[in-house]
Amino acid sequence: MRRYSNSNLWFIAFLLLIFTPGCSNAGAKPNLAAPIITSETPLSASAGLCTTTVTATFSLPMNPPSINGATFTLAGPGATAVSGTVSYDPSSTTATFTPSSTLVATTAYTATIMTGAADQDGIALANNFIWTFTTGNCIPPTVISVTPLVSVAVCPSTSSTATFSQAMNPAAINNTTFTLTTGTPPAAVTGVVTYAGSTATFTPSSALALNTPYTATITTGATDSSGVSLTANFVWTFTTASVACTLPVVVTSAPANLATGLCPDTLLVATFSQAMNPSTINTTTFTLTSPDTPGVAVAGAVTYNPADYTAIFTPIQPLAGDTAYTATITTGAQDLGDDSPATNYIWTFSTSPTACHTNVPLGSACSFGILAFNTVTNVNNVGTIVTGDLGISPGAALIGFPPGQVEGTIYLGDAVAQAAQDDLTAAYNYITATPGAVVLAADLGGETLAPGVYKTTSAQPTLMMTGNLTLSGSGVYIFQIVSTLTTNAGTQVILADGASSQNVFWQVGSSATIGTSSIFQGIIMAQSAITLQTGATLYGSALARTAAVSLDTNQMTTPPCPGP
């Protein structure tokens, strides 16, 4: 038998001491790097995506049994664990968490990869990898109202609009997804597509032909802010009138002519009778001057909203106090057919000698508890009482009155209701243009707010109330909501320390729904529909610009018109 010397044995032991660590576990391999996460979906801190799975990609091939429901978790809302399945794809080194059910819309979630996840050499992550994201609204969008209506003989100088049920991706609203055609085979009409709030507008490059049918189409290429498409193309048709439009005129303006005591932070709004050429609405054709400084125009910015035919003048600085001003729309403003107003449109007003914050100029719309575009429906027929006027224009469909009661005057499709709608348009655009808004949380439940201007954003377009909201303090409250406003059953808007419903304004870019048996305060101005569910109480007004108002056993009290 071969014998080994002690020196040989010691040498072999020394070699084993050197090389053994390379074949052991993670703690015994200090010379090998631990795996890391190289990418994740949804991205950390992202918001608004329609999320169906959560993934994490590793820098190294992982040990599949170590990637499981214990090492890859998802929680939300808050710390609530989300049930789901975990899988691992060796070819892409990617782990996937698939929730058992759809994640809650517009909710924050936290994903975690724990240090129990190890690579093929048994080396684990050095630390837990944690990231958060916020889901979007995964309900497919719909078109809830359009203009022109099918039944209307349309002025050739007319834009086409479509209002969506939720905020859309502006980049997906364009001349490919919003088209206007005529003839057989269909010929495309040239024009410009714009998007604001929840409304898309197609403005023809020139006046449409007389007595001609047109087809407007919103395609499934239009997606919402979460990337969700319409389920089918939305198509509607209309026919232009057989005679040319009359010359354009300014149908309403704010502040009102001869108004006094206005706050220096006021804006100016003028609404035209038909679509105008945006390039002709500018600081040359829309001016503001004061007799105290003759020949010197007030510096400001002029914008034009093609969806509403509305021009807005925003002074660069607050106006001087205790001063008279003259606003002018000149005949240089032209419609799509290059027609100008017959004369300059001029109105005057004066500012307050004391500092103040401007209220919203509702004009003749302020006396209306309900104002709708086409229909007002009292669903349950009994128990509904409206204190204030009720109007519909251009429609005239009133259902459920009586037995529903209106303790005011009813105006159906007449000049009074139309004037109120015009003033509502001016007020709506006035609110939209009011600067300095503070971004709101997605849910106002449990919040207390002071007077001021508040808004949602395209990243978080909807506003919820799952609990009571307190408005505390005397002053004006303005809420600019990109998409929908929804309150849960039984919630309340509580007014405290001098807050008044006549000074609370809710500008809603799509539709508003006031929950069952809830109590709401303020003037709701919605681009489309307003719904008061069973037993809801409104201390304020429901003013719908392009759709209906629906009621069901509701008590409505219209406040006095707001002050200057």
DSSP string, 232-281: S-EEEEEEE-SSPPPPP-EEEEESPTTEEEE-TT--EEEEESS-B-GGG-
- The pLDDT value recorded for residue 112 is 97
| 8 A C-beta contact, residue 546 and residue 527 | yes
Give the count of domains, the chain: 4
Pair 322, 344 in one domain:
yes
| 8 A C-beta contact, residue 474 and residue 501 | no
- The pLDDT value recorded for residue 379 is 86
Pair 344, 265 in one domain:
yes
Domain membership flag for residue 357: no
Instruction: Specify the DSSP element, H or E, that contains 13.
Output: helix 6-19
What is the CATH classification number for the domain harbouring 281? Answer: 2.60.40.1220
Pair 279, 322 in one domain:
yes
Domain final residue pick, 351, 373, 396: 351
Give percent of the chain above pLDDT 90. Answer: 68
Pair 390, 272 in one domain:
no
Between the CA of residue 245 and those of 268, 337, 414, what are the distances in Å? 26, 9, 20
Pair 515, 439 in one domain:
yes
Partnered with residue 487 across adjacent β-strands are 465
Mean pLDDT across 229-237? 95
Domain membership flag for residue 564: no
Pair 191, 290 in one domain:
no
Pair 213, 271 in one domain:
no
- The pLDDT value recorded for residue 16 is 46
Pair 206, 258 in one domain:
no
Pair 475, 439 in one domain:
yes
Pair 220, 292 in one domain:
no
| 8 A C-beta contact, residue 507 and residue 481 | yes
Domain of residue 271: give its range. 250-351
Give the pLDDT confidence of 4-53 residue by residue, as tens digits.
455 554 444 444 444 444 443 444 455 688 999 999 999 888 877 777 79
Domain final residue pick, 105, 135, 165: 135
Phi, psi of 365 (to 5 degrees): -70, -15
Pair 396, 339 in one domain:
no
Pair 274, 396 in one domain:
no
Give the pLDDT confidence of 451-497 residue by residue, as tens digits.
999 999 877 788 999 899 999 999 899 999 998 999 999 999 999 99
- The pLDDT value recorded for residue 30 is 57
